[in-house]
Amino acid sequence: MKNGKGAVDDRVVGKRKAALKPDSSSAKLSKKARNAKKDPNKPKRPPSAFFVFLEEFRKTFKAENPNVKAVSAVGKAGGAKWKSMTPAEKAPYEDKAAKKKAEYEKLMNAYNKKPTNPVNDKDEESDKSKSEVHDEEDEASGEEAHQEEEDDEDEDDEEDDD
């Protein structure tokens, strides 16, 4: 709309649109979250009822179809079978999953009650490495020495003026 009435077309004016900021619900994680160290002592999450079923289904599927090597084929066949099962047929797998989940919750409670490692607290004291701290000390002492030289020169200039 070039006549000045209404909204201005961005392409005509040549303005760029601002980049959209990803909202917090996006699937992308921050760098810290992606690179966070995983604790090897933390208990693994329990499998869902479908994965409990899939463990057993894999064995039977491999026995019936020894030539099929693709993991995706096993997953697709297992998914189709799971969807076709009645709630009564799914019940034993859901019970097993519930037991594994209860066991996981106990392990997580025990894991969360452990005291934090005091060695890590020492590391969190400073974000700077030792070399960075030493560099700053060198710079500070260098500035002091430079400042003293300038003061000496100023005093010499004042004496010359007299």
Enumerate residues 6+ apart whose C-beta is below 8 A from 44.
104
Question: Locate tokens 């005091």: which residue?
Answer: 118
For helices 71-84 and 49-64, the axis angle rounded to 10 degrees is 120
CA distance linking residue 154 with residue 146, whole number of Å: 13
User: pLDDT tens digit string along 30-39?
Assistant: 666 667 788 8
Find the mean pLDDT for residues 43-54: 94
- The hierarchical CATH code for the domain 49-114 is 1.10.30
User: pLDDT tens digit string along 15-29?
Assistant: 666 665 555 555 565
Count other Cβ atoms within 10 Å, centred on residue 93: 22
What is the model's pTM?
0.49
